[in-house]
Amino acid sequence: MEIFQSRDEISQLIKFKESPVIAEIGVFECEFSKKLHSWYNPKELHLFDTFRNFNVVGSGNVDGNDYRETTGEKIYNNAVDAFKNQPNVFLHEGFSNVTVAEMQDEYFDLIYIDGDHSEEGVYNDLINSYNKVKDHGWITGHDFGLNKAKCKNNWDFSGIRRAVSRFCAVKNLQIDALFLDGCISFAIQKKSAIVYYSKSGLVVLK
């Protein structure tokens, strides 16, 4: 497992030969969406959020500090304004268990998850992302745990850790990297098993 000090280093770990197709689930004020767009110059950037389905939405910053609330309407308008001159950016309004599931399988090169923080919500986003990410693509996400050296608050992310651990066990994957902001991000590469037959029998390689 590789360790990085911030998710701002995600582009050091994850590189693409061609312009990728990227998704972010849960965008809040589009801070990270803008960075993904700047780093990767993606062929397409798809932003999934409940947007106007909720009146009040709250979030801290990447370190889990400076918690603030806004409205779903403002989140939507902010996203529209942030990418109004970018025809390769698409907004998907609704619950991610529906909107992401509607996308074509093996379509994305990278998905970043920062939406529903319940254990089942995260697990569903992970399973949906697995189906929608290409082989050797990346499933990444926020709030795997706390780095108390940077986070002033005592957020409980145990459900997210359980969801990620269950997902890795079910899909026979592992966490490939952690990014040590106050709220830790994770990265998992989707790797299909390679199966071949030898004289001694069946051999499976990751």
Question: According to the model, what pLDDT value does residue 206 have?
Answer: 47
Rg (CA), the chain: 17
Angle, alpha carbons 144-150-152 (nearest 5°): 90
Q: What is the pLDDT of residues 81-133, one digit of tens each?
A: 999 999 999 999 999 999 999 999 999 999 999 999 999 999 999 999 999 99
Q: The whole model's pTM is what?
A: 0.91
Q: How far is CA 202 from CA 172, 186, 196, in A?
A: 18, 32, 6
